[in-house]
């Protein structure tokens, strides 16, 4: 598999790393850790050929930069598993409008597994394309941040960007 890889300086987060096949984005990493990101890619796709930025990563970078500047949610093609609990959770999270949040429990109910709120949290933690699937919009039922696959400070900053006021 050939993967386009890009590191992009962005407001709020400092940098993001993006990986894409010719069909769409396969991974987004929040933070400035390109070498670690590349090792993770090679672990996930042994034998993959990593290349510099290409048309898909450039389009994703433009969409992410526009979003972080207050523009619309980034809409770019992604290549993700289409089956299983996590994919159902990710689709549901993708429906959360900008500036709104949902609890882990509410997402669990929406995917018809009302007792699986912890599994929703695990699916959020496994989200391979944060920002493109806005897992930062999923919070604890008590209105607090809950967890995040990256730095919790990033989650708070992203929610603030969208105008969400958090407790504590």
Report domain extents, the chain.
2-68, 85-161
CATH number of 2-68: 3.30.160.70
pLDDT of res. 7: 98
- Residue 70: Cβ within 10 Å count: 10
Q: Is 135 annotated as catalytic?
A: yes
Does position 168 have pLDDT exceeding 60, yes or no? no
Give me the mean pLDDT over the 107-118 stretch.
Answer: 97
- Rounded mean pLDDT, 84-106: 96
Q: Which residue among the candidates 56, 89, 135, 145 is catalytic per the annotation?
A: 135
pLDDT bucket at 149, cuts 50 / 70 / 90: confident
Q: Which pTM value belongs to this model?
A: 0.94
Residue 10 pairs in a beta bridge with: 14
pLDDT band at 150 (very low <50, low <70, confident <90, very high): confident
CATH code: domain 85-161 is: 1.10.10.10
d(CA 28, CA 60): 10
């Amino acid at each position: 598999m050939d993967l386009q890889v890009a590191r992009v300086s962005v407001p709020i987060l400092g940098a993001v790393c993006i990986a894409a096949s010719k069909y769409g984005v396969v991974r987004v990493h929040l933070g400035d850790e390109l070498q670690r990101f590349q090792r993770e890619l090679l672990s996930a796709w042994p034998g993959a050929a990593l290349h510099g930025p290409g048309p898909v990563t450039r389009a994703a970078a433009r969409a992410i930069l526009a979003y972080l500047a207050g523009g619309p949610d980034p809409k770019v093609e992604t290549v993700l598993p289409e089956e299983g609990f996590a994919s159902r959770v990710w689709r549901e999270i993708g429906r959360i409008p900008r500036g709104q949040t949902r609890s882990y429990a509410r997402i669990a109910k929406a995917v018809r597994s009302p007792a699986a709120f912890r599994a929703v949290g695990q699916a959020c933690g496994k989200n391979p394309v944060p920002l493109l699937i806005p897992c930062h919009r999923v919070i604890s039922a008590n209105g607090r941040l809950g967890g995040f696959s990256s730095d919790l400070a990033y989650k708070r900053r992203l929610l603030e960007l969208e105008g969400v006021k958090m407790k504590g």
